Amino acid sequence: MLKTETPSTQHAQLDLYPVEALVDALVEDQAQAVAAVKAASASICAAVEAMAPRIAAGGRLIYAGAGTSGRLGVLDSVELYPTFSWPRERAKALLAGGLGAMFEAVEGAEDDLNKGAADLRLLYPTYNDVLLLVAASGTTPYVLGAMQAARTVGAFTVGIANNARTPLLTGADVGILLDTGAEVISGSTRLKAGTAQKIVLNTLSSALMVRLHKVYGNLMVDLQATNAKLVERAVRLTVHATGADAAAARAALEQCQYQVKLAMLMLLKKQTAAEAQAQLDATHGNVRAALTKKES
């Protein structure tokens, strides 16, 4: 039996617990998700190292999963644009049952291997694309179908599963085992198995964006200021990165559509928005390199 399906021996009388003990049991069990991710650090590093050159060469991040795992992939994909200005067309998510399954479970959709392959083929995968394939069991047919279709074109595959020696982990280019064990509510992989998957997806995509120069120091300098909260965040980031006062930061941002990287160059190098854009283009979006680049 898969570990994630094995009944837990720790809380066999969970339904009899008083609420304080019930909450403690559920919270304490989640801590094992962090331990499982830490144990997988070497595999996560290997995935990031292999992903970065393909994505830098124009590849896409494509997520595939079913149920909770698939929904976590959708969540990670849609957050890359506002957080890192990552083009929406370069972050795609496949969810068994279609996007309607984000809001209502589509039972049985995960069992269709051919549909997983067909859905991926509709995206016309290429060699530089990276597939993040997520399935707690490691055996979900829909996800395995997507993996098989990806492998036929040489796309890079990362399998993320919570059970060892399963087809997803052994078939992917890099397998990331999140050994979270039995769930406190038996078989409910939306609990710590899902938590571990969320941590890994956050880590993979964030590490990738750092490698692609979307972060300066630890500042999120490539965000999209699409609402009032994010406009104010852009101002604060520019102030922090440059030492300018808020008025100067806001004035610079207003001249460059609230792009923090450009505002930084404008303020620190006394450049116009056009000059800053040219400097940033010359360094392929690397603001640190642009700041140290000598004027020609």
- Helix (H), strand (E), coil (C) string for 182-213: CCCCCCCCCCHHHHHHHHHHHHHHHHHHHHCC
Q: Which of the following is catalytic: 28, 49, 79, 254?
A: 79
Could you read off the pLDDT of 41-81 as tens digits, one per residue? 999 999 999 999 999 999 999 999 999 999 999 999 999 99
Contact between residue 54 and residue 211 where contact means Cβ atoms under 8 Å apart: no
**Domains plus CATH for the chain?**
3-211 (3.40.50.10490), 228-292 (1.10.8.1080)
Total Cβ atoms within 10 A of residue 27 = 10
Q: Which of the following is catalytic: 110, 183, 254, 275?
A: 110
Rg (CA), the chain: 22
Contact between residue 168 and residue 4 where contact means Cβ atoms under 8 Å apart: no
pTM assigned to the model: 0.94
Give the CA distances from residue 176 to residues 105, 106, 269, 280, in Å, rounded to whole numbers and listed in that order: 26, 26, 43, 35
Could you read off the pLDDT of 201-240 as tens digits, one per residue? 999 999 999 999 999 999 999 999 999 999 999 999 999 9
Of the candidates 229, 224, 211, 217, which has an alpha carbon nearest to the alpha carbon of residue 285? 211
Asked about 110 being catalytic, the answer comes back as yes
